[in-house]
A and B are shown apart, each in its own frame.
Chain A
Amino acid sequence: MMRPTMTPGRSEGTREERTREERTRSEGDRGETTREEGITGKTVYRQVGQSPNRLEAREKVTGRALYVHDMEFPGMLYAKMLHSPYAHAEILSIDVSEAKALPGVKAVLTGRELPYLLGLYMVDKPILAQHKVRYQGEPVAAVAAVDGKTAAKALSLIKVEYRPLPAVLSVEEALAGKVLVHEDINTLDYVKGVFFPQPDSNIASWHKTIKGDIQKGFAQAELIIENELRLPQVAHVPLETHVVIVEADPYSPKVKIWSSAQSPFAVRNLLAKAFGLSRADISLVVPYVGGGFGGKAGIHLEPLGVVLSRACQGRPVKIQATREEEFNQLPTREGLRGRVKTGVTKDGKIVAEEIYFDWDGGAYADYSVNVGRAAGYAGAGPYEIPNIELHSRTLYTNKVFGTAYRGFGHLETHWIIERQMDLVAQALGMDPYELRMKNLLREGAATITGEKITAYSGRVDQCLEAVAKEISWSGYQSALEREKAFQTGKARGKGLAVLHKAPAMPPNTSTSAIMQMDEDGNVRLLLGAIDMGQGAYTVMAQIAAEVLDMPLEKVKVIWENDTDKNPYDWQTVASKYTFMGGNAVIRCAQDLLRQMKEVAACVLRSPSEELTHGDEKIYHVQHHDKAIAYKDLALGYTYEDGTGIGGPLIGRGVYMAEGLTNLNPETGQGLPALDWTYGAHGAEIEIDLESGEIHVLKIASAFDVGRVINRKLAAGQVVGGVIQGLGSALIGGYKYSPEGRLLNPSFTDNKIPTAKDIPDRIVPIFIENPQLDGPFGARGVGEHPMISVPSVLANAVYDALGINFYELPLSPERIALALARRKE
């Protein structure tokens, strides 16, 4: 376990640099990696667990890293979109004649000319609204023109006649089903067997998890605690807004797209389906990406770019979302209402739980139905619950539609569950630490979908123990202690919360890597995933360098990802890439080693079984001077007389998820989890009783990551993720007018944390119980840090004030009002 402290301005580092000398030399070959047992018996790595700088840092600090925002092409046109002012309305007519006549305008399109429907899981979304609009902000027309000003002027000349319809603006209205957001829900295409749209309703998917017998369970319960909690939609806010440039060849089906996207292969797949194209006709190029957080995981502006470019004889068309569009047109995180009923024994053992998650999914299903599905298997938290019935319903509403957002479904469900655990503890008069410890998943326990937890699944109890220790947790304060603090005008409190998450992905998810060696011994690595700042490529380079036993500087990861050139990866989502990509890169490097040993065996006249590798050489295990440098094998070996043998080295490595299954459609039972990363937060806060403002003194966050590959980058994910979680907890949230108009589509009113909003300290703690099939034992951690941050803060607020909050954000206003009510 290591505990770096992130305290701004202090010089003690997170780095635990191990010198080369500390590393012991390999005597025998393990055939696979350079793992070595030193004299201490401890595995010592050259790269793994170190803190090298991210590979692309230099380009990013010099302004040389170019994003799609920065790209322009000769003859490029600029597109802009016209948005619906209504949350729900019929489009009676659209008159584009004046806009078309404006000089400099090259194309004006409306939904009537675009009979396409797209969608990841539910095929429900038009490129531009067709006969009706389903949210305020939905694009109804688009213009491509020689410059942005002309496009904007053209928009102002478009006349749209609407007939407003009653709008569905809450989960309650959605469930009532008096108004349907998608009146054609019965005929929409969708991924069958995985999602369950309900006929003649606003329920895009109803996922059920049923285990044991809750009737019996509740009958055994000595106490039943029921609560309802909520949270609003929250925006991702990547600093680079969504942007695409599309060139659609008018003489062939060929389409080339530059996009700020997380999942180029998924975009290619969906475009091909929507337009009836071959995958080979579509190329997606992804350069640097200015943040994604799940918001760029689906398909967004690409299809509109295709039809606009086609309408402009194949000229490149750039569509760059404004910040307002980023809030108001492009997707956000779903809102959620959670109703949870927990049955416990007097000594705090959970015997039954019934949960209803109702997702405010907005106008189109996008990722929301999969968010609902993830909630179905992970939404009860990392607890052993013998009898459970969990219903997760993704609902259509007339709001900005929902999509994946960092750890999708988990921050939301853990807001409900981890608050509920504290509420249960309060009802029992028990320490919430003890209550959690009593019910956490441990070796031998089964998850709510029937998966057995093993000794190698990770330890959530160790995470909780670590953070409790770090914040010196000793139970809730007494009412007397609280009263005393109230005299000072400031109240302090502490809280705890746990979390778990596995990648939400299909059971057959796969990834691949290709490695080529140059004649100077440098390795070029081609990957399918996108590095949008999470540090994936640096971690993959470290893994490659570790397996090949060569300096990190000699591994070059090809940055720009191009679906025409890079090998396949499903999507860069779900905190799965260190695990899956890491395994693919290990296999890829092993493939390269195997090829080098084959040729070296001929040259050195030794069986390849007696050859080993290290320090960029293949050599004999016993006779070390029988050796060939990698670089002399890179393009094939050349004998003194000029004869060549072998050929250019190209390694391949693939990884496909193993042992996962679809979930039973009736009961939700099955194996959805590649790996569970467990975690816990402990928080210490201080509340100003006058203003209601929460000042966070400290957050300690522990994760069982199996093995840290890059300490500095892993700590960066934790700290950055905790602050995003803090935004969701204290600041963020969409606000709508009674008519369904988004009231805060700008940074002025829809804020994210600034440097002045951060806690005094964040302490990342890494627990390393290896995952046997993870690369060097590693599990993912990219999304996890933001999960349970809202709940840990609200739990600390209870400790400070003795008041429970059931809704986010924990704004000063909400807290001050609650304090005022209590005074009365």
Chain B
Amino acid sequence: MCVEHEHKVAETYLDSGLPRVRVSCTVNGESVSRWIDPTMSLLHFLRHELNLLGTKEGCGEGECGACTIILGGKAVNSCLVLAQEAAGSRILTVEGLGQGGRLSVLQEEFIKEDALQCGFCTPGMLMSARALLDRNPEPEEEDIKEAIAGNLCRCTGYYPIIKAIRTASEREREASQR
């Protein structure tokens, strides 16, 4: 075990000859900093370095959207981004959507509309929806479809997801007008 531990963590230089790099960023409002393999994906960084397991890996090739997170205000496939590219950025993952034990409006609407079945695409879907509503609080149906077109869902047929995003946008607008 000890030998492996060394093998995995303690060397400053990796087998590949590359030096570890330091990545510091803000994840869900919290500052984090880690020495990592420079080839590590942001998805791997979130899941394995920070233990944020809500973000899922569906294909590892940027085709399914299960690993979607918000990086610097934009929804991105975290499997296609190197962790070191996120240095200095603000990152939001599904774990950061609710506040103080309370669900966000978007999460509530996903539940109410049954916009999830197996739940594996749900975190990524929520993050694409969040990024959409952040840049466009009043999306048309086509905007919603466009925003989640990169997020594959095999269970729901998308209708309840589209509806949940629509109703969440309405509720958020009402709340901001109050």
Q: Which residues from chain A sit less than 8 Å from chain B, CB to CB?
A: 6-11, 53-54, 56-67, 69-70, 75, 103-104, 146-147, 236-241, 288-293, 322-323, 532-535, 712-713, 716, 719-724, 746-748, 752-756, 758, 762
Contact = CB atoms under 8 A, between A and B. Distances in A.
Nearest to B162: A8
Contacts of A56: 119
B157 to A, nearest CB: 4
Given A61-B111, A323-B60, A239 B157 contact: no
Given A239-B56, A758-B158, A146 B149 contact: no
A8 B95 contact: no
B107 interface: yes
A791 B24 CA distance: 55
B84 to A, nearest CB: 17
Contacts of B141: 8-9
7 contacts: A11-B166, A61-B126, A63-B123, A64-B54, A70-B53, A104-B4, A716-B117
Contacts of B121: 239
A106 B146 CA distance: 46
A747 B120 contact: no
Given A11-B167, A58-B103, A62-B94, A323 B116 contact: no
A723 B107 contact: no
Given A60-B116, A719-B160, A755-B162, A239 B64 contact: yes
B103 A237 contact: no
A329 B53 CA distance: 26
Q: Which one of A62, A70, A532, A722 has the greatest number of beta carbons of chain B within 10 Å?
A: A62
Contact of B61 (A10, A723, A747): A747
B73 interface: no
Interface string B149-178: 111111111111111001100100000000
Contacts of B8: 146-147
A327 to B, nearest CB: 10
B119 A65 contact: yes
Contacts of B54: 62-64
Nearest to B122: A60
Interface in B82-104: 93-95, 97-98, 103
Nearest to A292: B118
B163 A9 contact: yes
B148 interface: yes
Contacts of B95: 62-63
B111 A62 contact: no
Contacts of B61: 323, 746-748
B49 interface: no
B59 interface: yes
Contacts of B118: 238-240, 288-292, 532-533
A755 B122 contact: no
B64 A747 contact: yes
B144 to A, nearest CB: 7
Given A236-B154, A748-B61, 4 more contacts: A60-B116, A63-B55, A533-B116, A720-B157
B153 to A, nearest CB: 7
Interface of B: 1, 4, 7-8, 47, 52-61, 63-64, 66, 93-95, 97-98, 103, 107, 110-112, 114, 116-123, 126, 141, 144-146, 148-163, 166-167, 170
Contacts of A746: 59, 61, 63
B120 A63 contact: no
A164 B120 CA distance: 40
A11 B58 CA distance: 31
A664 B64 CA distance: 46
Contacts of B55: 63
A533 B59 contact: no
B53 A754 contact: no
B157 A723 contact: yes
A535 to B, nearest CB: 7
Contacts, number: 191
A146 B4 contact: yes
B129 to A, nearest CB: 11
B153 A762 contact: no
B162 A61 contact: no
Contacts of A762: 157, 159
A747 B77 CA distance: 15
A289 B61 CA distance: 21
A54 B114 contact: yes
B7 A63 contact: no
Contact of B149 (A11, A65, A70, A755): A755
Contact of A290 (B56, B59, B60, B107): B56
A292 B154 CA distance: 10
Nearest to B53: A70
B116 A293 contact: no
Q: Which one of A535, A723, A724 has the greatest number of beta carbons of chain B within 10 Å?
A: A723
Contacts of B53: 63, 66, 70
Nearest to B108: A61
Given A103-B7, A290-B56, A720 B120 contact: no
Contact of B155 (A10, A53, A104, A533): A533
Contacts of B60: 322-323
B111 A57 contact: yes
Nearest 9 CB-CB pairs, A to B?
Answer: A63-B54, A290-B120, A533-B118, A60-B119, A533-B117, A723-B157, A747-B63, A8-B162, A63-B94
Contacts of B166: 8-11
B152 A239 contact: yes
Contacts of B111: 53-54, 57-58, 61
A532 B144 CA distance: 26
A720 B59 contact: no
Contact of B154 (A69, A104, A535, A724): A724
A239 to B, nearest CB: 4
Contacts of A535: 117
A296 to B, nearest CB: 11
Contacts of A716: 114, 117, 155-156, 160
B43 to A, nearest CB: 12
Contacts of B103: 58, 61-62
B114 A712 contact: yes
A189 B103 CA distance: 54
A9 B152 CA distance: 19
Contacts of B148: 754-755
Contact of B119 (A7, A236, A288, A292): A288
B149 A61 contact: no
Nearest to B52: A63
B120 to A, nearest CB: 3
Nearest to B39: A149
Contacts of A712: 114
Given A53-B114, A61-B103, A748-B63, A237 B94 contact: no
A62 B93 CA distance: 10
A65 B56 CA distance: 11
Contacts of A756: 145-146, 149
Contact of B158 (A65, A103, A240, A723): A723
A237 B162 contact: no
A55 to B, nearest CB: 11
A755 B158 contact: yes
A290 B156 CA distance: 13
A464 to B, nearest CB: 22
A724 B111 CA distance: 22
A427 to B, nearest CB: 35
Contacts of B47: 70
B56 A754 contact: no
Contacts of A61: 94, 97, 103, 107, 110-111, 116, 119, 122, 126
Nearest to A716: B114
A7 B141 CA distance: 10
Contacts of B163: 8-11
A747 B59 contact: yes
A75 B1 contact: yes
A8 B161 CA distance: 8
A323 B107 contact: no
A720 B161 contact: no
Nearest to B62: A747
